[in-house]
Amino acid sequence: MGLYEILAPIGAGGMGEVYRAWDTKLGRDVALKVLPESFAGDPERMARFEREAQVLASLNHPNIATIHGLEESGGVRALVMEVVEGPTLAERIAHRAMPLDEALLIAKQIAEGLEYAHERGIIYRDLKPANVKLTADGKVKILDFGLAKALEAPVPAGNPSISPTLTLEGTRAGVILGTAAYMAPEQARGAIVDKRADIWAFGVVLYEMLTGKRLFEGETISDTLAAVLTKEPELERVPANLRRLLQCCLQKDPKQRLQAIGDWRLLLEKTPEIAVPARRMWLWPSVAAMLLVMLGLVSFLQFRRKPPAEPRVVRFTIPLPEKGILGEFLSLSPDGKRFAFTVSVGSSVQLWMRALDSLQSHPLAGTEGTDGVPFWSFDSRYIVFWTGGKLKKIDVSGGPPQTLCDVPLLVFRGFWTRDNKIVFGSATGVLQVAAGGGVPSRLTTVDRTRQEMYHGVPALLPDGRHFVFQRYAPGSVENGGIYLASLDTKPEAQGLKRLLPDLSMPFYVPSLEPATPNVGYLLFVREGTLMAQRFDGGRLELTSDPVPVAERLGDFGAYSVSETGTLVYTTGDSTYRRLTWYDRQGKATGTAWTPGQTSELNLSRDGSRVAVANLTSARDIWVFEFARDVSNRLTNGPGLNLRPVWSPDGSRIVYSSYEAGGFWMLANPASGAGKEELLRKSDSEMCANDWSRDGRYLLFQENDSNAQGRSHLWFLPMDGDRKPTPYFHSEFNENSGQFSPDGRFVAYVSDQSSSDEVYVSSFPDPNAVRLPISHGGGYQPRWRRDGKELLYFSPDGMLMSVDVTLSPVFKAGVPKVLFQSQIYAGSVPSNIWGRAFWDISPDGQHFLINTISSDTSATLTVVLNWQAALKK
């Protein structure tokens, strides 16, 4: 076969035929694993085989058989692998128990090979004694790593414990992979599996080594699978000091199983007591005497021993991803081993994860477009996050995200209770939903009369019932702050206890002092300094003055703590933004105004001024004049003022304000001199989108008042009775509306196709014309002023251009890419929020974009044993 001279067959089975061959080029023996002829006509199997060759080639570990390459000759494909001499583990066992030391030595090497692969996201799926080779020098080699995923094989009716690999229906959801006697229960059911299936098989193989007996057996494959699913392992034959390990490996529920194969060593250190047989009562006097001697020796050593040293505070920084910009949010796992954080790459925001004992960070696939503050399950297995109007969870060990519920408005952190309830903050109040998903119920309700904007970042207290949370009321010093509530509180309840006035994210952590189990610390940020204040979990009250823990936290006070004494926080500006001019080739040609926490922007029709929502100056609207390089603060109210829109003649600016009593849509003279005009007041969130060029209509979006809170488009006549009229109302979200220059059409964003896309509809009747514009996602549409081009941003930050014709009938061309920009929040779905972080110059040749700058000064700092510093 090509460069390889076939010497002799080694074996054959469902995984393919194996031959010993001579590599004529490199002069060495190799093993050729040839795909059976019955598979050659199946393109899907062939493609899977090639993919697995690439997977195997990425593995380089002394306990995994090496693959040298993938060869094809005369239509035959084969994996070229190292030849492993020696018996298989199945042959070594041969129905005889192995000595404990030998079994543990083999188990150690198997575990190390699995751990290496798991760290690289590769699952074996087919661990069994027949796939483990033992070399003459005592080394273990795992064979066929990953091939169970690639190949299918017929199922014989013979002995299922030695049946070839079962591979039913390819590799899509619902397959059964592996060998029956060694399958994990979820694998036997045909569910999607992860590394915990390998941990189950490790336990089964270890049991067989220790006892010489197979753990699950039956006359047929079905009988064996039934035993795997229903039979509880009997471990009496296993040495006592290994029973706990096997119990953890052989939990039928993967959630209760050992979560990482590398942790098997820890379970060996805890040996349960061995009962003394009743027949040996005559030994008790000797045992008692021995115990007295040992007790005396321990007491002597105890009094001689110096008291344990105080834990030392350790601080270090973690480098940020080279190609990304640190986002505003991070979250440390309860066990203190890993933390998740947001990273912006281009305009895409995604969750990344890093283990504290690792040198690398990596993104979590499926978390693109995340926003808000993520949080962990109590067992550190799942991360809960918000994206695209949905609350989701993702298993950090692998697998796609799972949707928990619809939450149209941004989610502000939360916690996961031990009875599997997920509690989270939102713009409407603190909500809870079952960990398996469902319809959320309300625990607290945002009170607009108190100028509250949201209830966020709840943190559970040690009694498991009470929690602290933030009532965010930026326009009311007396109402906002950190409050105490209960999972039993009725949503309409008033008089919740206020603990602190700070508009900060609170965290509760228990004290690490063993003498004070019910006392911990409440952490919060005050004027850029992280503070810790003693909190009595029994009396539910603060018992000391606050003490500083860390200084110079970022703009949003991003930090997180674990129950194990680990703290992670950011210092400096995590999202440094610039209003940057770009030409049509994507070249930056200049900047405007001063950098900072700027949000939405809107250019005046003549392009001489820009209105900006500035989050660093009491959340007000500012106007910047380009020619004179001067800025003017337009608003100075108590609420949060956002989303400015210019009038056609440039004399007024409409903006949204969240103040006492609800949401307001106001119009102010652009000069700042004159009286503001109330256009609309609502209990639901709303904001202006655009003002028609003829000045007759204001297009705005408003959320439903029901639990779904979907956004819909309305228009407001700017003369006459000014009665709002629905423009586009459906069971989907519609937002970000923009009038065409001639006023006959509206470009907007809708999620009717399950993802946000740009559409164009006729105005005022949206049903006369309705055409999709984008495909693959689209946000923040803008018309060129001459009406010949419609532009929008794609989810990955590409500025897209579509040639359009408005008259006599509307026509649209194929979207094409202009350039990519690090537009701030470019990937955040615009539903509900209707944000606009860019605009186009009157001549259509330049674009002003609120850009995430790489000139960030943010730093990630980790502190171990931070509580020890509080005693000094």
Residue numbers annotated as active site = 126
d(CA 340, CA 328): 12
DSSP string, 682-697: ESS-EEEEEE-TTSSE
Residues 6+ apart with CB under 8 A from 840: 603, 782, 784, 785, 791, 846, 847, 848
State CA 482 to chain mean position distance: 26
What does the block give as tokens for 457? 């970042």
Q: What are the structure tokens assigned to 552, written together?
A: 């110079």
Question: Phi, psi at residue 357, to the nearest 5°?
Answer: -95, 15
**CA pair distance 802, 815, nearest whole angstrom:** 5
Query: How many residues are there in the chain?
Result: 872
Q: How many CB atoms lie within 10 A of CB 728?
A: 22
Q: If 0-12 CB within 10 Å is exposed, 13-18 middle and 19+ buried, where does residue 669 land? A: middle
How far are the Cα atoms of 140, 201, 260, 261, 574 from residue 257, in angstroms, in the given order?
Answer: 25, 12, 9, 10, 38
Complete edge-to-edge strand list for the sheet that includes strand 361-363: 325-332, 338-345, 348-355, 361-363
Q: In the structure encoding, which two tokens stand for residue 149, read together?
A: 């995923």
Residue 103, C-beta contacts closer than 8 angstroms, at least 6 positions apart: 206, 209, 210
State the burial class of residue 533 (Cβ atoms within 10 Å of its Cβ: 0-12, 13-18, 19+). Answer: middle
Question: What is the gyration radius of the CA atoms in the chain, in angstroms?
Answer: 32
Which one, of 381, 463, 378, lies nearest residue 420 by Cα? 378
Return the closest-CA partner of residue 119 out of 360, 295, 317. Answer: 360
Contacts of 374 (CB under 8 A, 6+ apart): 329, 331, 340, 342, 351, 383, 384, 385, 386, 413
Question: First and final CA of the chain: distance in angstroms?
Answer: 74
Q: How far apart are CA 506 and CA 482, in angstroms?
A: 7
Residue 185, helix vs strand vs coil: helix
Question: Which has the closest alpha carbon to 453: 434, 472, 468?
Answer: 472
Distance between CA atoms of residues 517 and 512, nearest Å = 8
CA gap 484, 426 in Å, rounded: 16
